[in-house]
A and B are shown apart, each in its own frame.
Chain A
């Protein structure tokens, strides 16, 4: 158990819909990272928040947005969903703001868009 929690574990929705994925980092960790893993793809970095502020941005679509709240939990919002958004979405956390620090991953949310 990494100490990072993600909800929900599974999500099935239809094209055009909007969903919210939630992540609670390990106690004491200030950074939250979001990754997408599609079929046969590696982990694609989406975005990082550090202590409530956006720290780094990766290949995140404009239809996607994220935020980190004062209690340090984070939400990833996916809107106007397309079939290609079906993937595993992982959240990770680390103590500081540097991405080279050990990142602790949650179990992931599996999103299926029909």
Chain B
């Protein structure tokens, strides 16, 4: 039972354009959401987060949007750069169990 879903295994974008990565969740107890980025042969690194009391959080080129009614969040990267090519994991915090639930990841390829 996948509580956090990233339905696009991969995404290819041209350098300079916008990258949009999507994530859906099923559990209404999730109240905090995070995005992690992972390069090959490295561990995931924290990118950006958003609390359920907000609908948008911005950090430089990265913006996360949260639509609670749809149980959907998205990560926007503008403008995309080749160095952004990585696997992006969406994660949700379950306050009932104190656990982070990760999605399966989306491989982003930014073409020069």
* Chain A residues with a Cβ under 8 A of chain B: 2, 4, 33, 35, 40-45, 48, 55-56, 58, 90, 92, 97-100, 102-108
Contact B102 A43 (CB under 8 A): yes
Q: Are B100 and A2 in contact (CB under 8 A)?
A: no
Chain B min CB distance to A33 (Å): 8
Which interface class (under 10, 10 to 19, 20 to 34, 35 or more) fits B? Answer: 20 to 34
From A42, A92, A106, B4 is in contact (CB under 8 Å) with A42
The binding surface of chain B is classed by DSSP as: strand
CB pair B104–A42 under 8 Å, yes or no, is yes
With A107-B41, A107-B43 already in contact, 17 other A-B pairs whose C-beta atoms are closer than 8 Å: A2-B43, A41-B104, A43-B91, A45-B99, A48-B98, A55-B98, A58-B99, A90-B43, A100-B95, A102-B46, A102-B49, A105-B36, A105-B44, A105-B45, A106-B43, A107-B42, A108-B43
